[in-house]
Structure 1
Amino acid sequence: MDFIIFIISMAALIYGADFIIRESERIALHYNISHFVIGATLVAFGTSLPEMAASMMASYTGKSDMAVANVIGSVTFNITLILGIVFFIAKKMNPKRDLFSIDSAWVVVPVIVFLLMIQDGEVGRFDGFLFVLMMVSYLTFLFTHAKSELDGSIDEELTKEKFNWFKSIALLAVGFIFVIGGANFVIESGSNIARTFGVSEWIIGLLLISLGTSLPELVVSLVAIKKGNADLSVGNIIGSNVANFSMVLGGASLLHPLAVNLQNNFFDIMILVAASFTLLFIIANRLYNKAGAIFLLIILALFLQNSFNAFL
């Protein structure tokens, strides 16, 4: 029964986030806010709403392992699974933007800051505040450097629809109810599953919750491939990962300090580091092809093997 509740709750979490993103875009477009601003503030971080809701609910209920594991798992899946699929499927990727010279810092700096923060075994409230400052810094960076790349990330169909305040507010309300309610049931059912199988809440957060909350990024990336804009996926994943550390982990640790067991979770943290530096290597050498995909999928296979061994 807990598995059914978990799946339904995860679906509610993801659909709720989609409602919030789309209706926020509608309202912004109604007030003639530029596509860049919408992309930088809503689309770039909107797909991280499921992770944020799940981790903040886990933090609020005192489940630190789930909150931290969700972020580590989501960032790892974003890089290895989603970009692995994108690089493998996309026929040709040749981004006009020099991702290495402009964006490379945002691939590795959040990970390095995270590693430094957890040396004392905790992501505290001050650490959370610093992560929030990182989000402000990233938004400033986007406004300064990323206007042309983000213009194409908005759903153009929204600009053709007639604006309706009642409809937008109603769907926003439904979205927030789905997100908050879904996050609550995801955490509770996930905890029950962990107890049933005798595995840690860390593994549930790392494997099940993080994979489920990464679905919006996967959908966005697959749609980008279909539209011939696969190269946008790299920037979207970089932005989502920054949001996972700044909004998700930062927000969760502001609610309640998050304990991190470095010894028990060393392998998963190292996989996160390996995935991030592999992505840095790929964008430095412009390996947006099957070779780059294979590198990422090898890391994903190691990650899944270790997680399944702990789960089974």
Structure 2
Amino acid sequence: MDYIVFLAAMAALIYGAGFIIKESERIALHFNISHFVIGATLIAFGTSLPEMAASMMASYHGKSDMAVANVVGSVIFNISLVLGVVFMIAKSMNPQRNLFAKDSAWVIVPVVIFYIMIQDGEISRFDGVLFLLMMVSYLLFLFSSSKDDLEGEIDEDLEQEKFNWPKSILLLSIGFLFTIGGANYVVESGTNIAHSLGVSEWIIGLFLISLGTSLPELVVSLVAVKKGNAEMSIGNIIGSNVANFSMVLGGSALINPLTIDLQATNYDIMILASASIALLFILANKIYNKAGGIFLLTILALFITHSI
């Protein structure tokens, strides 16, 4: 029964997050907020809502391992699985934006800050505030970036629709209900599954929850590939990973300080660092092809094989 509840809750979590993203974008367009502002805020971080809801709920219930593992696993899956698949199936990628020059720091700096913070075995509330300040820094960076890089991320169909306040409020309410309720049952059923299988809550968060909450990034990236905008997926993943560290971990730490067993989680954190370094190497050498995809999927295989 816990497995059915887990799958249903995960679906509700992702479905609810989708409602929130779309309705927030619709409201922003209604108030004539620029495409750039929408792209830099709602779209850049909207796909991290499932991770945020799941980790914050886990933190609220005092399940630090699950909260932190969700972020670590999500970042690993975002880079190795999502971008690995994108590079494998994309016919050609020639980003106009110099991703290495402009965005490489945001690939590795959050990982370095995370590694430094956990050396005392805890992400404190003060650390959480620092993570949230990193989010402010990233937003300022986005606002100083080229606006053209974000124009293409807006849902053009929304601009053609007639705005309806009652409908938007209703759909937003449904979205929050599904997201919060889904996150609560994901944590509860995930804990029960961990106990029944005799595995740790870290493993459940690292695989089941993080893989499920990475689905929005995978869907967005595959849609981008289908539309011939595969390079957009790289920016989405970088932004999503920054949001995972800053908003998700930062917000979760504010609810309750997060403890972490460095010895037990050492390999997974090494994989996290390896995936980030691999992405840096790909950006530096512009290996946006099957070679880059195989490189990232190999890291994913090592991650899964060791953990199993």
What is the distance in 2 between the residues matched to 1:21 and 1:62? 28
What is the distance in 1 between the residues matched to 2:73 and 2:167? 35
TM-score by length of 2: 0.99
Three-state SS of the structure 2 residue aligned to 1:126 is helix
- Counting only pairs closer than 5 Å after superposition, residues 12-91 of structure 1 correspond to structure 2 as 12-91=12-91
What is the distance in 2 between the residues matched to 1:221 and 1:228? 11
The Cα shift of 1:146 comes to 3.8
Alignment partner of 1:187 is 2:187: yes
What is the distance in 2 between the residues matched to 1:272 and 1:146? 29
The aligned counterpart of 1:153 is 153
The aligned counterpart of 2:109 is 109
The aligned counterpart of 2:269 is 269
Three-state SS of the structure 2 residue aligned to 1:288 is coil
AA partner of residue 250 (structure 2): G
Could you report, residue by residue, the CA deviation over 1:92-148 in whole angstroms, capped at 9, with x for unpaired residues? 000000001110000000000000000000011010000000000000000001421
The aligned counterpart of 1:124 is 124
Alignment partner of 1:10 is 2:21: no
Alignment partner of 1:228 is 2:190: no
AA partner of residue 212 (structure 2): G
What is the distance in 1 between the residues matched to 2:11 and 2:174? 13
What is the distance in 2 between the residues matched to 1:36 and 1:81? 28
The aligned counterpart of 1:206 is 206
What is the distance in 1 between the residues matched to 2:84 and 2:154? 23
What is the distance in 2 between the residues matched to 1:246 and 1:130? 8
Could you report, residue by residue, the CA deviation over 1:66-99 in whole angstroms, capped at 9, with x for unpaired residues? 0000000000000000000000000000000000
CA gap of 1:123–1:146, structure 2 versus 1, over 3 A, is farther
The aligned counterpart of 1:293 is 293
AA partner of residue 162 (structure 1): K
AA partner of residue 249 (structure 1): L
Three-state SS of the structure 1 residue aligned to 2:134 is helix
What is the distance in 1 between the residues matched to 2:190 and 2:246? 24
The aligned counterpart of 1:237 is 237
Three-state SS of the structure 1 residue aligned to 2:287 is coil
What is the distance in 2 between the residues matched to 1:129 and 1:64? 17
What is the distance in 2 between the residues matched to 1:156 and 1:83? 25
What is the distance in 1 between the residues matched to 2:67 and 2:259? 10
Could you report, residue by residue, the CA deviation over 1:147-204 in whole angstroms, capped at 9, with x for unpaired residues? 2111101111100111000000000000000000000000000000000000000000
Could you report, residue by residue, the CA deviation over 1:236-273 in whole angstroms, capped at 9, with x for unpaired residues? 10000000000000000011000011100100000000
The aligned counterpart of 2:141 is 141
What is the distance in 2 between the residues matched to 1:32 and 1:246? 28
The Cα shift of 1:209 comes to 0.1
Listed as ranges, the gaps of 5+ residues in structure 2 are none
What is the distance in 2 between the residues matched to 1:40 and 1:251? 20
AA partner of residue 151 (structure 1): E
Three-state SS of the structure 2 residue aligned to 1:153 is coil
The Cα shift of 1:305 comes to 1.0
AA partner of residue 226 (structure 1): K
Three-state SS of the structure 1 residue aligned to 2:262 is coil
Moved more, 298-307 or 165-174: 298-307
What is the distance in 2 between the residues matched to 1:94 and 1:161? 33
Three-state SS of the structure 1 residue aligned to 2:33 is coil
Listed as ranges, the gaps of 5+ residues in structure 1 are none
Three-state SS of the structure 2 residue aligned to 1:265 is helix
What is the distance in 1 between the residues matched to 2:147 and 2:89? 27
TM-score by length of 1: 0.98
What is the distance in 1 between the residues matched to 2:257 and 2:295? 35
What is the distance in 1 between the residues matched to 2:131 and 2:141? 15
What is the distance in 2 between the residues matched to 1:13 and 1:38? 22
What is the distance in 2 between the residues matched to 1:17 and 1:78? 17
Alignment partner of 1:259 is 2:252: no
What is the distance in 2 between the residues matched to 1:268 and 1:147? 36
Q: How many residues align?
A: 308
What is the distance in 1 between the residues matched to 2:96 and 2:300? 28
What is the distance in 2 between the residues matched to 1:228 and 1:157? 18
The Cα shift of 1:306 comes to 1.9
What is the distance in 1 between the residues matched to 2:10 and 2:178? 9
* Identity among equivalent pairs (%): 73
